[in-house]
């Protein structure tokens, strides 16, 4: 019997053993046993989509895009059948009477996605457990080592087992505190103020402990900040209602909702909302010929990947798609020639602080900036060049994630591509329009204070913190960190990861990226260890792959490649 261990069973872990069973079903003669290690209460959903989180935490992918989250086909496996499971939208239609709309995209609560994932896990896991093909150990893994020819896994109960193959799909891992968080933790030990350094881990404490007497600062101005803002308001009984004859909202506080919320970040720039729905988004959607041409140009460039020394090839291929879309969208209001627009676009993509009349001015008052982007997202006003680039980038991201994963580009060029993708996420990973409208309404109600949003001076005081913007000062009782650390392997504080690095079983692509892996998920090691087939999938492989945080990538071809690789080795 060949024994396979899967450490971590969020969405990637779930789909990994779905794909493994499907791949093994094509082989007649094999004797396989799978063991899953995960200490979570509900497997399949993972931390991000756990089912007991606040209903005000929304998915950041629309229901329309989730049409691509396909279901599972029935599989004949040895002497029994593994049941099928519906796609996400089919499941929503059956369980929630869900109806897709072309006018307005919906963004369901993350806990609804969690329920889908857990139910999908249960449907396959129950069958495999009954057939004694699968065992689940609800334990945290404390040690992983290799003693030829086996992996040895030790759990928190100090129990060890041997396996022929091991997959790590461990998702978000704790990272080292930066100097600011370290100093704040020391400050709070003196009884001065409250600090929540992980917004999702302490979500229930935030909801239950904070009363209207507290003023709250949110470190970060992204999607997690929006989640926390709703927890401090909507989850405490507040609401929003549409203003008559207007696209905007009015905030209705409750007796329990927080009265003062102060967000801040290094640059003070808000995330930019996605188009309202299909009817608006169609203006930014490349046609099949444009997508095909983009892929062809990138593939042609990658034929000589080791010789590429800058991102000009990507800028050119991308703007060949994006600029005709922009020019078509703005032809009435813009008389500038294509060559000039191309120069402006490239300058902005290289440095997003670059200013031009075609680009929405980031020095605008923060509220006015959000109003402008919301109106673009609703199709109410002419779009800016940067907004168009961001939305076209969103449509081409799935193609880029495939093209640039496990390619032969120089590691530093790959790092630059990832930095460019990260810099566009303020647009491409932006929130629903309604989230932006809620922030505007909260500012109108003097609950959301945007005066300190751009890198304020922060000093600790006897009761908490003091924020200063050179013109005024705001006292803060509670600080909530909403900045989620990137998956830099060298910064991860997980004992398991540290031990694997010290044992030379993991190495980073570069100092700023994650684990170096091959197309089949095997970890790239030095020559003396290249026969060790430790495999890893997910966000901690960032650099070898792109698109590590997207739910659809948890159900993509990378997982199939891993399953086929392991099947070829052991079956």
Residues with Cβ within 8 Å of residue 208, at least 6 apart in sequence: none
pLDDT at 51: 95
Q: What is the pLDDT of residues 80-100, one digit of tens each?
A: 999 999 999 999 999 999 999
Alpha helix stretches (DSSP H) within 31-109? 88-96
Biggest CA pair distance of the chain: 75
pLDDT at 272: 98
Beta strands in 324-463 (DSSP E): 457-461
Beta strands in 210-325 (DSSP E): 215-219, 239-242, 249-252, 260-264
Write the CATH number of the domain with boundaries 179-268+442-481. 3.50.50
Report how far residue 177's alpha carbon sits from residue 380's, in angstroms, rounded to the nearest whole number: 43
Q: List the chain residues with pLDDT less than 70.
A: 331-334, 526-530
421 three-class SS: helix
pLDDT at 287: 97
Peptide bond preceding 149 in cis form (omega within 30 of 0): yes
pLDDT at 333: 62
pLDDT at 5: 97
pLDDT at 528: 60
Q: Does domain 2-174+486-570 have CATH number 3.30.360.10?
A: no
pLDDT at 239: 98
What residues does CATH 3.50.50.60 cover in the chain? 2-174+486-570
The fraction of the chain above a pLDDT of 90, given in percent, is 81
- Main-chain phi, psi angles of 491, to 5 degrees: -100, -10
Q: Tell me which residue of 47, 96, 87, 97 sits closest to 65, measured CA to CA.
A: 87
pLDDT at 172: 83
pLDDT at 529: 67
Q: What is the pLDDT of residues 286-334, one digit of tens each?
A: 999 999 999 999 999 999 999 999 999 999 999 999 999 999 888 656 6
């Amino acid at each position: 019997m060949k024994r396979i261990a899967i450490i971590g069973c969020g969405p990637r872990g779930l789909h990994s053993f779905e794909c493994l069973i499907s791949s093994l079903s094509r082989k007649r003669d094999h004797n396989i046993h799978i063991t899953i290690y995960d200490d979570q209460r509900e497997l399949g959903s993972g931390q991000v989509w756990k089912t007991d989180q606040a209903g005000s935490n929304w998915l950041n992918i629309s229901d329309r895009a989730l049409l691509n989250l396909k279901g599972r086909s029935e599989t004949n496996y040895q002497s029994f059948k593994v049941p099928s499971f519906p796609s996400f939208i089919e499941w929503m239609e059956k369980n929630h009477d869900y109806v897709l709309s072309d006018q307005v995209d919906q963004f369901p609560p993350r806990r609804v996605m969690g329920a889908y994932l857990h139910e999908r896990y249960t449907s396959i896991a129950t069958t495999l457990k009954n057939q004694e093909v699968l065992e689940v150990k609800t334990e945290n893994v404390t040690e992983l080592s290799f003693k030829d020819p086996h992996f040895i896994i030790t759990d928190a109960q100090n129990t060890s087992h041997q396996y022929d193959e091991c997959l790590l799909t461990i998702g978000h891992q704790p990272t080292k505190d930066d100097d600011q968080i370290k100093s704040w933790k020391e400050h709070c030990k003196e009884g001065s103020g409250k600090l929540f350094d992980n917004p999702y881990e302490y979500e229930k404490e935030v909801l239950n402990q904070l009363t209207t007497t507290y003023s709250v600062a949110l470190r970060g101005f992204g999607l997690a900040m929006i989640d926390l803002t709703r927890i401090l308001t909507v989850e405490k009984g507040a609401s929003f209602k549409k203003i008559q004859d207007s696209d905007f909202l009015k905030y209705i506080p409750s007796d329990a909702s927080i009265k003062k919320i102060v967000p801040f970040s290094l640059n003070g720039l808000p995330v930019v909302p996605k188009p309202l729905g299909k009817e608006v988004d169609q203006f930014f959607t490349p046609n099949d010929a444009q997508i095909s041409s983009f892929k062809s140009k990138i593939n042609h460039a990658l034929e000589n990947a080791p010789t590429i020394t800058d991102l000009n090839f990507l800028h050119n291929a991308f703007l060949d798609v994006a600029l005709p879309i922009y020019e078509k969208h703005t032809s009435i209001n813009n008389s500038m020639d294509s060559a000039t627009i191309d120069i402006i676009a490239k300058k902005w993509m290289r440095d997003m602080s670059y200013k031009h009349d075609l680009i929405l001015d980031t020095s605008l008052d923060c509220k006015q900036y959000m109003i402008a982007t919301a109106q673009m997202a609703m199709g109410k006003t002419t779009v800016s060049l940067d907004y168009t680039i961001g939305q076209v980038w969103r449509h081409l991201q799935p193609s880029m994630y495939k093209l640039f994963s496990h390619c032969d580009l120089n590691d530093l060029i790959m790092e630059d591509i990832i930095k460019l993708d990260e810099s566009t996420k303020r647009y491409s990973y932006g929130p629903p329009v309604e989230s932006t409208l809620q922030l505007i309404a909260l500012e109108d109600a003097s609950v959301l204070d945007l005066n300190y949003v751009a890198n304020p001076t922060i000093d600790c005081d006897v009761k908490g913190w003091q924020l200063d913007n050179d013109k005024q000062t705001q006292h803060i009782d509670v600080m909530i960190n909403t900045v989620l650390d990137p998956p830099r392997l060298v910064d991860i504080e997980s004992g398991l990861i540290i031990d694997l690095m010290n044992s030379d079983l993991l190495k980073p692509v570069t100092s700023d990226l994650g684990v170096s892996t091959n197309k089949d998920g095997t970890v790239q090691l030095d020559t003396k260890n290249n026969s060790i087939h430790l495999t890893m999938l997910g966000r901690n492989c960032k650099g070898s792959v792109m698109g590590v945080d997207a739910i659809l990538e948890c159900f993509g071809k990378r997982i199939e490649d891993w399953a086929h690789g392991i099947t070829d080795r052991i079956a």
